[in-house]
Structures are given as C-alpha cells and as structure tokens.
Copies of this chain bind each other. A is one copy, B any other.
Amino acid sequence: VTSPFHRIEEFVPLTPEAITRLSLWKENRRVGRRLDTIRREGDPVGHVYFLIGGWVSSSLLMSDGRRQIVKIHLPGDMLGFPSLALEKAGETLDALTDIEFCAIPAVEIGQLFEQYPAVAAGLFLSAQKERVALMQELSWVGSSSSLGRLAAFLLDLYHRLDAAGMVTNQGFDWPLTQTHLGELLGMTAIHTNRMFRQLDKTGYIAREGRHIRVIDMHGLRSLTPSMPPPVASRVGWERLGCPGKS
C-alpha cells in the first residue's frame, strides 16, 4: 500500500540506496494477459518475480492430472522464490487477470545478500511470513468442512485485499472461477459450487457476478474453525539485534 516494496520494508527499514537499487527491477517491467503462464513447473529457475498489478496463482501439478493451487498472489507479492532452492521450478505461475510484473534474475538476489544485509533480512522474514501463511492454509484445508474452508479462504483473502487497498465498500473483484476455487480448497468444482451457493444463501456474502461483497463478517467468521492470523508487522530487524541499523 505505502511502498511498492512493502513485503520487504514491513520488517526492515531500507536505506535510500537500497530502495534505489530495488527500483532498478522496474526496468524489466512486463505485462501479461489473463491465463498467461509466467513460468511453468519444471522450467529452469532463472528468475523470480515481483507482482505489480493483477492476480496470480501458484500451483503444483500432481501425477494424476489434478492441480493444487497453493497460493493466490496479489499486487506487491514476490513470486517464485521457493523455487530458488530447486534446480527446476517447483511451481507454476498463472495469471488470473491481466497482470504487470517485474522479472528479477536469480543472481541478483545473491548480490543483494552480499551488499544489503537489510534487504536480505527483509526477504528472509518475508519468506518466513509466507511459511506461516502456508501453515495456516494447510490448517484449514486439512481439517475443516468444505464450507469452513471456503469461508476461511474468503476471510483470509478479504484481509489481504484490504491491506492492499483493493476493498471498497466491503466488496472486491472476483476473477476466480469455481474450478480455481476447487483446486485451491482441495475439492471438486461441483462441490465448490454447492458450497458457494450455500454460503450465498446464508447472506453473509453476496455474489454479484465478478464481484463479491461481505455482508456479515462476524457470521462469516463463525463458519470457520481457524483463527485469524496472529500476524504482526514491524518486527524483525530490531528484534534481530540491529537496533539503529539502516
């Protein structure tokens, strides 16, 4: 919301030089259209990505042909980082809307680690926060009823959209198909449809074509057994023992 590099700065204040350096990323600015694939699972890992605008899904293919979406990315997110630990990309990145993003050479990340410890710490803590998000996603995909999963996802998404300033009047754009939703929640698209209609009938949300409004946040929350994320921003560098740094 505030800075384009909020995912990094949220933990660690950056020097002007560091910000200037990161801004060079924008030279590799690209656009993509809905349904474009940014990078496919199995591709060599030459780049990571910084999402400027639009929605992107990150998914895994399974040998039986099923697909598991592991994360819905929103503007400001860093994409493709997990695959840095792999020889070949472990995740497919698909554009869910028209998008705008930067491609960042992987070698650039190594240079940043040497030259800007603060950036390194920011990237590191950002990765840890993503791990927390994944753990929570696992917790509701694994345990609750399908209606609960749907509600939990919508709540989480709502909060993330809100933090990105993409919620107006309790409503937001909805580019996901029910097939996407099913692949994300680990259930069939048909059942997703059933549950989505059922949730609609509760009146807690209202679906208006490619737009969704949250009518009763409290009611929505009552459907999910998972707790709202105990996340806290503004921790990290100081906590990490470098108070006056940078």
Contact = CB atoms under 8 A, between A and B. Distances in A.
Interface of A: 11, 41-42, 45, 58, 60-64, 66, 68, 70, 81-88, 90-91, 105-111, 113-114, 117, 120-121, 123-132, 134-144, 185-186, 225-227, 229-232, 235-237, 239-242, 245
A58 B136 CA distance: 12
B242 A85 contact: no
13 contacts: A62-B139, A70-B138, A82-B135, A84-B239, A86-B230, A90-B231, A91-B132, A110-B237, A110-B240, A113-B120, A114-B242, A120-B124, A141-B142
A107 B138 contact: no
Nearest to A185: B142
Contact of A128 (B58, B66, B85, B232): B85
A142 B70 CA distance: 10
A140 B230 CA distance: 26
B231 A126 contact: no
Please state the number of chain copies in the assembly. Answer: 2
Nearest to A148: B64
A66 B240 contact: no
Given A114-B117, A121-B110, A124-B120, A142 B68 contact: yes
Contacts of A124: 113, 120, 123-124, 127
A225 B62 contact: yes
Contact of A138 (B45, B137, B143): B137
Given A81-B131, A127-B131, 16 more contacts: A45-B239, A58-B135, A62-B226, A63-B227, A64-B144, A66-B144, A85-B125, A86-B235, A88-B232, A91-B132, A106-B239, A106-B241, A109-B241, A110-B239, A141-B142, A142-B185
What 4 pairs across the A-B complex have the smallest Cβ distances?
A110-B240, A142-B186, A107-B241, A87-B232
Nearest to A106: B239
Contacts of A138: 68, 70, 134, 137-138, 141
A128 B45 CA distance: 13
Nearest to A226: B62
